[in-house]
């Protein structure tokens, strides 16, 4: 069994589309919200172009999709409506992706630390993970409103690593979208992409360090090989 060195590595996960399949509940809460301004319901096929920057941006993007711009005056009440509906129905249909819990158990047993870095509001992310009884896995859960910056700003990831007690040189990011891959590259952290999330393009085209199709592939050996390769690049 691979054991992390004394300076244990930290594995940072995105939330929506990476750890959890939140698609049904995001669509449901968004449609509940935008109905009040006369927009027609969005579908899962629309979701890949809507998610990634939190509820506020989802609502704005839904309006632009239907040529009905959402004003800054309307946004606060719409965001509040979205959040209230989303929390009231948690966890709803949201579930961890197949193999995730087993992978986290393996990694924790091998001495690795885990954290979450998401553009979802911290309160929503934490509450959702609590409802799913997953919070004990993570040394830090950092949302899009935790700091004054968010993915793809490198400081969102480096701040997450710091909060979790990790080291940027011993960290790996896992995500499903351009924001996740970009924040990792901006922070100089190796990145693993998953293809089952909400990206509107094939994740392999975004040039992650590697792609895993299932969490069964997420092992200590993979993490250590990525960290070794990253260290070699820095040395060169």
- Verify whether residue 25 is a known catalytic residue: no
8 A C-beta contact, residue 29 and residue 85: yes
Our measurement of the distance from residue 32's CA atom to the centroid of its chain's CA atoms, rounded to an integer in Å, reads 23
β-pair type (113-117, 140-142) = parallel
Catalytic residue among 14, 16, 21, 110: 14
How far apart CA 4 and CA 220 sit, in angstroms, is 8
Using alpha carbons only, how large is the chain's radius of gyration in Å? 18
H-run or E-run covering 64: helix 55-65
How far apart CA 107 and CA 90 sit, in angstroms, is 27
Structure tokens at 94: 């949201």
β-pair type (171-175, 10-13) = parallel
Structure tokens at 44: 């899962």
At what angle are helices 220-235 and 100-109 packed, to 10 degrees? 70
8 A C-beta contact, residue 143 and residue 115: no
Which one-letter DSSP state was computed for residue 209?
S
> Sign (positive/negative) of CA torsion 212, 3, 166, 229?
negative
Task: Give the residue numbers annotated as catalytic, written as ranges.
Answer: 14
């Amino acid at each position: 069994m691979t054991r992390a060195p004394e300076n244990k590595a930290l594995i940072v996960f995105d939330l929506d589309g990476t750890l959890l399949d939140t698609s049904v509940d995001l669509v449901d809460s968004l449609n509940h919200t935008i109905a009040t301004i006369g927009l027609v319901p969005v579908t899962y096929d629309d979701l890949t172009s809507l998610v990634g920057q939190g509820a506020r941006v989802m609502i704005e993007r839904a309006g632009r999709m239907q040529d009905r711009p959402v004003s800054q005056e309307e946004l606060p009440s719409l965001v509040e409506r979205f959040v209230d509906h989303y929390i009231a129905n948690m966890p709803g249909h949201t579930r961890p992706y197949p193999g995730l819990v087993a992978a986290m158990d393996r990694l924790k047993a091998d001495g690795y630390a885990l954290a979450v870095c998401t553009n979802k509001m911290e309160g929503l992310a934490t509450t959702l993970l609590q409802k799913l009884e997953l919070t004990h896995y993570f040394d830090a859960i950092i949302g899009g409103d935790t700091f004054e910056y968010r993915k793809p700003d490198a400081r969102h990831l480096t701040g997450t690593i710091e909060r979790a007690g990790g080291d940027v040189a011993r960290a790996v990011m896992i995500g499903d979208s351009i924001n996740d891959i970009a924040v990792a590259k901006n922070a100089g952290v190796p990145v693993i992409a998953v293809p089952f999330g909400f990206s509107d393009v094939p994740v392999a085209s975004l040039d992650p360090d590697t792609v895993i199709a299932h969490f069964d592939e997420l092992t200590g050996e993979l993490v250590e090989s990525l960290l070794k390769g990253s260290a070699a690049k820095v040395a060169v």
